[in-house]
């Protein structure tokens, strides 16, 4: 299976979400359960699922650190989605979160150049945070 630019962007934004949230010791907190862990040990969890919204899949406001349990099963079968929603409202405000839900069915057409630009931006930011955490 070929690795697409979109999949590279998804990988990069998930890494960026984790590393950019890390404190000086490399620790992050799960947005759903508050568990503390090293940024390399968690997921970059999408608030609006990446498979259900081309509009939000690659937006930094939609991806934040989540422990593997909350991201894997907690979002669909547990209380993680509700906790994530409360965190999002605290972080961005209720109006923004409502707008996210309204926009999730919108189509966002991205072209090869868009993915290349995004990937460069994400990788530049990742490099900045890698240097910050040395």
C-alpha–C-alpha distance, residues 120 and 76, integer Å: 32
- Summarised one tens digit per residue, pLDDT across range 111-129 is 999 999 999 999 999 999 9
50 pLDDT exceeds 90?
A: no
Does residue 94 lie within any of the structural domains?
yes
pTM: predicted TM-score of the whole model, two decimal places: 0.91
Does residue 134 lie within any of the structural domains?
no
Count of structural domains, the chain: 1
- Summarised one tens digit per residue, pLDDT across range 62-92 is 999 999 999 988 787 888 999 999 999 999 9
C-alpha–C-alpha distance, residues 107 and 90, integer Å: 27
Does residue 44 lie within any of the structural domains?
yes
C-alpha–C-alpha distance, residues 81 and 2, integer Å: 32
Which residues span the domain enclosing 91?
5-129
Helix or strand holding residue 50 (H, E): none
């Amino acid at each position: 299976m070929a690795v697409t630019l979109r999949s590279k962007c998804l990988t990069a934004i998930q890494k960026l979400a984790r590393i950019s949230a890390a404190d000086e010791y490399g620790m992050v907190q799960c947005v759903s359960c508050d568990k503390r862990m090293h940024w390399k040990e968690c997921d970059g969890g999408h608030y609006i699922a990446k498979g259900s919204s081309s509009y939000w899949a690659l937006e930094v406001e939609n991806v934040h650190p989540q422990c593997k349990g909350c991201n894997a099963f907690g979002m669909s079968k547990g209380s993680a989605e509700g906790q994530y929603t409360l965190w999002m409202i605290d972080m961005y405000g209720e109006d923004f979160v409502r707008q996210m839900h309204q926009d999730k069915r919108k189509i966002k057409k991205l072209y090869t150049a868009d993915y290349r630009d995004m990937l460069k931006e994400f990788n530049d930011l990742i490099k900045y945070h890698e240097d910050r955490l040395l």
